[in-house]
């Protein structure tokens, strides 16, 4: 199929892609780029970014060059386009020299509508020179820069080669550029504009709201039983994803669910490729399969009727949480995002960050990202609002589609309790874990307490007005709020941070959320 300058965007949408209408901003974006404008497109995953450059590529004379870091997905994208009759190809390190030569020949002869290129290939002098030839011959329709957040040093996907993409603008100033990303927080957006010289590009920002997803964060008591209660009550026959942090936990959880009679499969990068593919296929094709997975699962998965996403461990960031939960309810029907988390998760996440060998600067950013997520978990405000605000979008709140709006959370004045907890940490030498600290506060004279002579401390037994679960909630919130931190060297012993000082000195009040009692599973007669 040659470029179709005489067709309308609507015709191409219908005749080639088989869709009856554009979604949201798609039409405006297509028209803007098709008439030669630069664009920055912020749209959530699954929103339909591809059409925004595919249709203008077909409408304009010449070939559309699509820069993408996702080499593994290029083949699929190109195959899909070819099935629709679009003359597409890709150029990346997986091609043989022979196949690469064929791509070059087709490019120069004007036999391609779209070419997907890995950034490091695009930047080769040879390739850029060929593009000049193409420009003087069959023409360059546009440059699409997919996953544009890869220019950002602060993101998870930083690619140094993305920085060099300014060369496109310098060498081909007449060719329109469209940058696309699903990462929309304001600093990343600014960095994209600056790094890619997109100051004059029109920005198209779609809403990131997923009103059909009901967000819930529950406090971990017995995670497996809580998960089972959730599944039994709300998703007895549905397809869903259960995310876990480690491969081991994925396998254990999948096996356990299976034992309980659920159709559960494991997925993580350590499984043999054949097993992974088979499990993924079953999840996509069959009804009611539960995929227990690490974050390795999900990229490029387009299953519309995933009814729930459950997190048994904390995601790494708000972006991660949004992406992972966003795989639920693509069809627009009600879906659940359910998470259970506790102090242990906060401690192990912090330790994982601290012990990694990333540069200090990077760790600092990752800590901030985790803190934002913990703030979200502990928040008593509307979850849709909190989530969207993180991505720089306003939401009126009162969504009636999250735990906090459906069952408003009580807060309590916990200044006194916080002070007791903090001084207990201090007096025991800032090296004990939460179980021991609570024993001291409750005045339990067990062997460990006696071994360290902690029954002599002024904090021994001063906390009997709260119970074990309440203290556990206090400690979790103090750690999540950054007043306490876990120490690697003492295997998760808690110590004070600078932020604890004003509370200890009585200069700052502390309000905490009152945790609901964890839901108990109804035990069936047969089980009793
Ligand atoms: P993104 O790149 O933003 O994650 P995609 O471009 O892969 O999203 O599109 C996600 C899904 O939505 C695809 O299955 C695509 O075919 C579908 N889609 C996109 N635009 C439309 C539309 N206007 N009408 C119907 N389906 C669409």
pLDDT score recorded for residue 518: 57
**ipTM for the predicted complex:** 0.98
**Ligand 1 atom with minimal separation from the 43 CA:** 3
d(CA 263, CA 231): 12
Q: If you measure from the C-alpha of residue 19 to the centroid of ligand 1, how many angstroms do you get, rounded to a whole number?
A: 10
> Whose Cα sits closest to atom 17 in ligand 1?
48
**Predicted local distance difference test score (pLDDT) of residue 528:** 46
* Residue-level pLDDT at 106: 97
* Rg (alpha carbons) of the chain, rounded to whole number: 27
Q: C-alpha distances in angstroms, 378 versus 393, 411, 420?
A: 20, 11, 21
pLDDT on residue 343: 85
Q: Which residues, 6 or more positions from 363, have their beta carbon under 8 angstroms from its beta carbon?
A: 353, 354, 356
CA of 46 to the centre of ligand 1 (A): 6
Token reading at 152: 């950002």
Kindly report the CA angle at 109 between 107 and 115, in degrees rounded to 5?
20
Question: pLDDT value at position 519?
Answer: 54
Best CA proximity match to 49, nearest among 10, 22, 72: 22
CA of 176 to the centre of ligand 1 (A): 22
The reported pTM is 0.76
Does the CB atom of residue 26 touch ligand 1 within 6 A? yes
**From the CB of 45, is ligand 1 less than 6 Å away?**
yes
364 lines ligand 1 (CB under 6 A): no
- Among 50, 54, 208, 305, say which to mutate for ligand 1: greatest number of ligand atoms within 8 Å of CB: 50
Instruction: Return the residue whose CA atom lies nearest to atom 19 of ligand 1.
Output: 48
The minimum-distance atom of ligand 1 relative to the CA of 20 is 24
Instruction: Give yes or no for a contact between 42 and 204, defined as CB atoms under 8 angstroms apart.
Output: yes
Centre of ligand 1 from the C-alpha of residue 296, in Å: 22
**Which of 48, 55, 81, 116 to mutate for ligand 1's pocket (most ligand atoms within 8 Å of CB)?**
48
330: Cβ below 6 Å to ligand 1? no
Residue 43, ligand 1, Cβ within 6 A: yes
Q: Say yes or no: CB of residue 51 within 6 Å of ligand 1.
A: yes
pLDDT tens for the chain, residues 1 to 528:
555 656 799 999 999 999 999 988 999 999 999 999 999 999 987 789 999 999 999 999 999 999 998 887 888 899 999 999 999 999 999 899 999 999 999 999 999 999 999 999 999 999 999 999 999 999 999 999 999 999 987 666 788 899 999 999 999 999 999 999 987 677 788 889 999 999 999 999 888 899 999 999 999 989 999 999 999 999 999 999 999 999 999 999 999 999 999 999 999 999 999 999 999 999 999 999 999 999 988 876 778 899 999 999 999 888 889 989 999 998 889 999 999 998 888 888 888 888 888 788 778 778 878 888 998 998 888 999 999 988 778 899 999 999 999 998 889 999 999 999 999 999 999 999 899 999 999 999 999 999 999 999 999 999 999 999 899 889 988 988 889 887 766 666 889 999 999 999 999 999 998 887 655 555 555 554
Q: What is the pLDDT of residue 44?
A: 84
CA of 80 to the centre of ligand 1 (A): 13
**189-193 contacts, C-beta under 8 A, 24 or more apart:** 189/40, 189/42, 189/392, 191/151, 191/152, 191/153, 191/154, 192/40, 192/148, 192/149, 192/151, 192/152, 193/40
* Per-residue buried b or exposed e for 296-311, using 16+ beta carbons within 10 Å of the residue's own CB: ebbeebebeebbbbbb
Q: Whose CA is nearest to atom 27 of ligand 1?
A: 48
3-state secondary structure 68-101: CCCHHHHHHHHHHHHHCCCCEEEECCCCCHHHHH
pLDDT at site 485: 83
Q: Is 47 in the pocket of ligand 1 (CB under 6 A)?
A: yes
CA of 50 to the centre of ligand 1 (A): 7
Closest Cα to atom 18 of ligand 1: 48
Phi and psi torsions of 341, nearest 5°: -150, 155
């Amino acid at each position: 199929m040659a470029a179709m300058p005489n067709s309308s965007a609507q015709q191409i949408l219908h005749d080639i892609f088989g869709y009856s209408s554009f979604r949201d901003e798609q039409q405006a974006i297509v028209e803007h780029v098709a008439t030669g404008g630069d664009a920055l497109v912020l749209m959530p995953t699954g929103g339909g970014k591809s059409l925004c450059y595919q249709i203008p590529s077909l409408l304009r004379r010449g070939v559309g060059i699509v820069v993408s870091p996702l080499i593994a997905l290029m083949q699929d994208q190109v195959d899909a386009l070819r099935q629709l009759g679009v003359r597409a190809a890709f150029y990346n390190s997986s091609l043989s020299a022979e196949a690469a030569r064929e791509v070059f020949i087709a490019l120069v002869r004007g036999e391609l509508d779209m070419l997907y290129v890995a950034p490091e290939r695009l930047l080769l002098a040879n390739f850029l020179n060929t593009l000049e030839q193409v420009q003087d011959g069959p023409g360059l329709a546009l440059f699409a820069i997919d996953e544009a957040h890869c220019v950002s040093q602060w993101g998870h996907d930083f690619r140094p080669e993305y920085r060099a993409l300014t060369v496109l603008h310098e060498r081909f100033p007449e060719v329109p550029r469209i940058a696309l990303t699903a990462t929309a927080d304001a600093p990343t957006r600014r960095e994209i504009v600056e790094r890619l010289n997109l100051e004059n590009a029109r920005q198209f920002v779609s809403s990131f709201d997923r009103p059909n997803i009901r967000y819930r964060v529950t406090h971990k008591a017995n995670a497996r039983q809580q998960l089972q209660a959730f599944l039994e009550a709300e998703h007895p026959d549905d397809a869903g994803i259960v995310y876990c942090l480690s491969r081991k936990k994925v396998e254990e959880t999948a096996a356990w669910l299976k034992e309980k009679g659920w159709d559960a499969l494991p997925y993580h990068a350590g499984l043999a490729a054949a097993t992974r593919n088979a499990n993924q296929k079953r999840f996509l094709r069959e009804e009611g399969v539960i995929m227990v997975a690490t974050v390795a699962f999900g990229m490029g998965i387009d299953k519309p009727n995933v009814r729930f996403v459950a997190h048994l461990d904390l995601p790494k960031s708000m972006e991660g949480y949004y992406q992972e939960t966003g795989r639920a309810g693509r069809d627009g029907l009600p879906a659940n995002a359910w998470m259970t988390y506790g102090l242990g998760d906060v401690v192990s996440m912090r330790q994982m960050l601290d012990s990694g060998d990333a540069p200090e600067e990077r760790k600092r950013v990752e800590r901030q990202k985790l803190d934002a997520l913990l703030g979200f978990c502990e928040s008593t405000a509307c979850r849709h609002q909190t989530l969207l605000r993180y991505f720089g979008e306003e939401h009126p709140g009162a969504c009636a589609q999250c735990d906090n709006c459906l069952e408003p959370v009580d807060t309590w004045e916990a200044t006194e309790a916080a002070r007791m907890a903090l001084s207990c940490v201090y007096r025991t030498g800032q090296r004990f874990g939460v179980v021991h600290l609570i024993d001291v506060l409750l005045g339990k004279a067990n062997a460990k307490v006696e071994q360290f002579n902690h029954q002599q401390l002024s904090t021994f037994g001063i906390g009997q007005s709260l119970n074990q679960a309440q203290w556990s909630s206090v400690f979790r919130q103090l750690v999540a709020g950054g007043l306490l931190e876990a120490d690697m060297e003492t295997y998760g012993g808690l110590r004070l941070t600078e932020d604890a000082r004003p509370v200890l000195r009585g200069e700052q009040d502390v309000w905490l959320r009152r945790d609901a009692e964890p839901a108990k599973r109804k035990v069936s007669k047969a089980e009793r």
